[in-house]
């Protein structure tokens, strides 16, 4: 499983990139809005920091509008992946972008059937949202079960679309994504840090430090 960072914050991307384990970036309109800067500027700067797939999301609209907006982003850099919402028009747009060999990430996936439709339209990536589905279902397993079922369906029919476990809220979601066969986990900066730090590691180091001073 490879890791993308789920943020549009340049400092977070810069810091996480120094760890050497980040292969790409996903953004969405909410993450871009938090940064108070034009989407194109943010995306351009991200392409300079990370040499891997960078998802830029088109606004919901009709397929023509989404494809036109997608061209604008795709022209910016070969690493740009177009994030397309899981709607009727989004499926049409995905199919057309695929025919132009523009990579897509179909987002806001909450069922296996949505993932299959996206795969049939040629999506490079599908993004099931674990955290939001867990919240909606009031369950700690709903998102994980979704990833597992999409994995099975894609394997059954050899769909090449990659599964991105998204809407990750804590390290447990990353564990679930890994156990159930997601290709990618896109992880917020805070959760990436939580995946490295542990109170017992900190305590163990303090003990070793004391021992070394004796």
- Kindly list the catalytic residues: 83
Q: Which residues of 27-63 are buried (b: 16+ CB within 10 A; e: fewer)?
A: bbeebbeebeeebeebbeebbeebeebbbbbbeebeb
Closest separation between CB of residue 128 and ligand G3P, Å?
A: 10
Query: How far is C-alpha 208 from the geometric centre of its chain's CA atoms?
Result: 38
Alpha helices (H) along the chain: 10-17, 29-34, 39-49, 63-74, 88-99, 112-120, 130-137, 142-157, 171-179, 189-194, 199-213
Nearer to ligand G3P, 151 or 173 (CB): 173
Nearer to ligand G3P, 69 or 134 (CB): 134
Closest separation between CB of residue 129 and ligand G3P, Å?
A: 6
Nearer to ligand G3P, 70 or 96 (CB): 70
Bridge-partner residues for 22, per DSSP? Answer: 3
Q: Which stretches of the chain bind ligand G3P, using CB under 6 A? A: 6, 26, 28, 127, 129, 131-132, 166-167, 186
Closest separation between CB of residue 179 and ligand G3P, Å?
A: 20
Measured CA to CA in angstroms, residue 157 lies from 19, 53, 148, 192 at distances of 36, 25, 15, 33
What pairing do the DSSP bridges indicate for beta strands 125-128 and 104-109? parallel
User: What does the block give as tokens for 133?
Assistant: 């589905």
3-state DSSP call for residue 192? Answer: helix
Closest separation between CB of residue 120 and ligand G3P, Å?
A: 22
Nearer to ligand G3P, 96 or 130 (CB): 130
Nearer to ligand G3P, 95 or 132 (CB): 132
Neighbours of 110 (CB within 10 A): 18
Closest separation between CB of residue 47 and ligand G3P, Å?
A: 18
């Amino acid at each position: 499983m490879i890791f993308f960072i789920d943020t549009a914050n340049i400092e977070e991307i810069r810091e996480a990139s120094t760890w050497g384990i980040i292969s790409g970036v996903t953004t969405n309109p909410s993450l871009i809005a938090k940064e108070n800067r034009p989407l194109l500027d943010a995306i351009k700067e991200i392409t300079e920091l990370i040499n891997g797939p960078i998802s830029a999301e088109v606004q919901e609209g009709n397929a023509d509008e989404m494809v036109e907006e997608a061209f604008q982003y795709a022209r910016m850099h070969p690493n740009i992946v177009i994030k397309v919402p899981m709607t009727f028009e989004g499926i049409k747009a995905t199919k057309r972008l695929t025919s132009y060999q523009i990579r897509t990430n179909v987002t806001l996936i909450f069922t296996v059937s949505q993932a299959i439709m996206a795969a049939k339209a040629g999506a490079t990536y599908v993004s099931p949202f674990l955290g939001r589905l867990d919240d909606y279902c009031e369950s700690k397993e709903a998102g994980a079960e979704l990833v597992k079922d999409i994995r099975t369906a894609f394997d059954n029919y050899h769909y090449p679309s990659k599964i991105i476990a998204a809407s990750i809220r804590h390290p447990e979601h990353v564990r679930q994504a890994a156990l159930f066969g997601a290709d990618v986990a896109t992880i917020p900066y805070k959760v990436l840090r939580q995946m490295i730090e542990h109170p017992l590691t900190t305590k163990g180091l303090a003990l070793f430090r004391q021992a070394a001073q004796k």
